[in-house]
Amino acid sequence: MSQQAQYDSQAINQMDKDHHLHPWQIFDVFREEGALAIARGEGCYIYDTDGKRYFDSVGGLWCNNIGLGRKEMAEAIAAQAYEMSYASPFVDLTNVPAAKLAAKLAELAPGPLNHVFFTCGGSTAVDTAFRMIHYYQNCRGKHEKKHIISRMNSYHGSTYAAMSIGGKPGDHPPEFEYISDTIHHLSYPNYYRCAADGQSETEFVDALVKEFEDKIAELGADKVAAFFAEPIMGAGGVIVAPEGYLKRMYEVCKQNDILFVADEVVTAFGRLGHWFASESEFGIVPDMITSAKGLTSGYQPLGALLFSDEIWDVLNEEDSGRCFAHGFTYSGHPVACAAALKNIEILEKEKLLENVMEVGPYFEQQLKTLEDLPIVGQVRGRKFMVCVEYVANKETKALFPEEQDIGKRVSNHADELGLITRAIVHLNVMSPPLTMSKADVDFVVSTLRKSIELTIEDLKQEGLL
């Protein structure tokens, strides 16, 4: 363990406040409160600049799969930076880690997904998918196939195209512009919130599939290029669709010559106990998979778009004179690829996917016990990807007014008790490192219970409950 460094927390916060625009910065709140500065990490724990320790149940941002502060990762990164810190990936140059990682990903991915395009993260993987879809359809002579269908409340990243594909209303404020003529959003499969009174899960899925078929009929199947879906919606509130939904949406795609893009930026590399969740957890083999986050466990920024032999064969058609004019200076960055290779080696060597299979159901089961609390409407998710939804009334499922920021109230108490959870309006989401043990689960669940109980007391004192 490294010695706790001495930091001037106040000076760091001031520099940050004055010069650092944060992703999703809420200006009025940030101006008053600033940010919690994190100085170091070890395993599942992070330490702020005053040395206070927290269990990070969010795994950074759904990305810290192997845990923080690993010496072997630092060594692999340093060794690669020394050997070859950068080599252009353009046209006819490559580097050793990029070639090895592409082959390793092809080995781990479902059957025909044997080809990889490296990006800087998840958003650029989604953006690359978006451009490759158009390129592929045009190469096939399907020039009209331009429309993209995704779901409300989905999150696919923060570039112009990725944000337009995403469907979280909160991420679409009117001050920004979005692609709206060729991108369409269907209802999302949240049975708890969106099913009609008395509607069974099967009827709910039937209605969602019909909505998809109707949208295709309205646009014309010859005009729809692709469907994007996270196997489990993450930032949109950890939505696990009812049984059979994903497979039926996939079948509709196949019947209509529509590419199925599984956005596995969160769900891959072990979060659900598999290298990729689409096939192993949901029984589908997508045409494309976007990934990032757990690919390096956040030790380096890297994303990867995996795509099928069928798409490759069109791009790679002999004597077509084609050139896929797309790429980033840091595509296949050697240091990032070396980090990914070491990360995958650790996931394999320490059997962390197996740990998720063993501890995941215990985590789900223990968290479920929180449903006895008067403001917990639903605990949902799978294995190491879970969330708690708060309600003002359990019978009617009525939410607290947004300005009461209920998720934040709970996570503020959790912070004080040494637990980091992520508040998204009326939710707390968790995606811990895959090293989490059953004893860690007990700490997380009991601390969250305490934090919710303290929040209930506050709400009562303020006359809000």
| Minimum gap (Å) between residue 414 Cβ and ligand PMP | 21
CB-neighbour burial class of residue 438 (10 A; exposed 0-12, middle 13-18, buried 19+):
exposed
For ligand PMP, the closer of residues 55 and 62 by Cβ is 62
Asked if 105 interacts with ligand PMP (CB under 6 A), we say no
Asked if 281 interacts with ligand PMP (CB under 6 A), we say no
| Minimum gap (Å) between residue 75 Cβ and ligand PMP | 25
The Cα 133–Cα 296 span in angstroms is: 26
Among 97, 110, 234, 273, contact with ligand PMP (rule: CB under 6 A): 234
| Minimum gap (Å) between residue 116 Cβ and ligand PMP | 16
Select from 437, 450, 456, 457 the least CA-distant residue to 57.
437
In Å, how far are 89, 94, 211, 291, 401 from 334, measured between CA atoms? 9, 9, 44, 17, 48
In Å, how far are 171, 190, 409, 421 from 168, measured between CA atoms? 5, 14, 22, 20
Among 127, 230, 279, 281, contact with ligand PMP (rule: CB under 6 A): 230
Nearest 10 degrees: Cα torsion 436, 382, 424, 55: -10
Among positive and negative, which fits the CA dihedral 211, 213, 214, 220? positive
Q: Which of 86-94, 176-184, 259-267, 370-378 is the region at the interface with ligand PMP (rule: CB under 6 A)?
A: 259-267
Asked if 231 interacts with ligand PMP (CB under 6 A), we say no
Tell me, by CB under 6 A, how many residues bind ligand PMP. Answer: 15
119: left (phi over 0), alpha (psi -120 to 50) or beta: beta
In Å, how far are 179, 219, 421 from 182, measured between CA atoms? 7, 10, 36
Among 235, 238, 392, 420, contact with ligand PMP (rule: CB under 6 A): 235
Tokens of 185: 């959003």
Q: Which of 150-158, 221-229, 344-352, 445-453 is the region at the interface with ligand PMP (rule: CB under 6 A)?
A: 150-158
Asked if 156 interacts with ligand PMP (CB under 6 A), we say yes
| Minimum gap (Å) between residue 453 Cβ and ligand PMP | 30
Asked if 263 interacts with ligand PMP (CB under 6 A), we say yes
- Under a CB-based contact definition with an 8 Å cutoff, are residues 295 and 302 in contact? yes
Asked if 298 interacts with ligand PMP (CB under 6 A), we say no
Distance of CA 369 to the CA centre of its chain: 25
Among 58, 68, 126, 419, contact with ligand PMP (rule: CB under 6 A): 126
| Minimum gap (Å) between residue 265 Cβ and ligand PMP | 4
Asked if 60 interacts with ligand PMP (CB under 6 A), we say no
Q: Which of 64-72, 78-86, 229-237, 432-440 is the region at the interface with ligand PMP (rule: CB under 6 A)?
A: 229-237
Tokens 């939710």 -> residue:
427
Q: Which of 33-41, 152-160, 273-281, 397-405 is the region at the interface with ligand PMP (rule: CB under 6 A)?
A: 152-160
103: left (phi over 0), alpha (psi -120 to 50) or beta: alpha
Asked if 122 interacts with ligand PMP (CB under 6 A), we say yes
Q: Which of 136-144, 248-256, 258-266, 388-396 is the region at the interface with ligand PMP (rule: CB under 6 A)?
A: 258-266
The Cα 336–Cα 269 span in angstroms is: 16
Asked if 266 interacts with ligand PMP (CB under 6 A), we say yes
Task: Catalog residues that contact ligand PMP under the rule CB under 6 A.
Answer: 121-123, 126, 155-158, 230, 234-235, 263, 265-266, 292
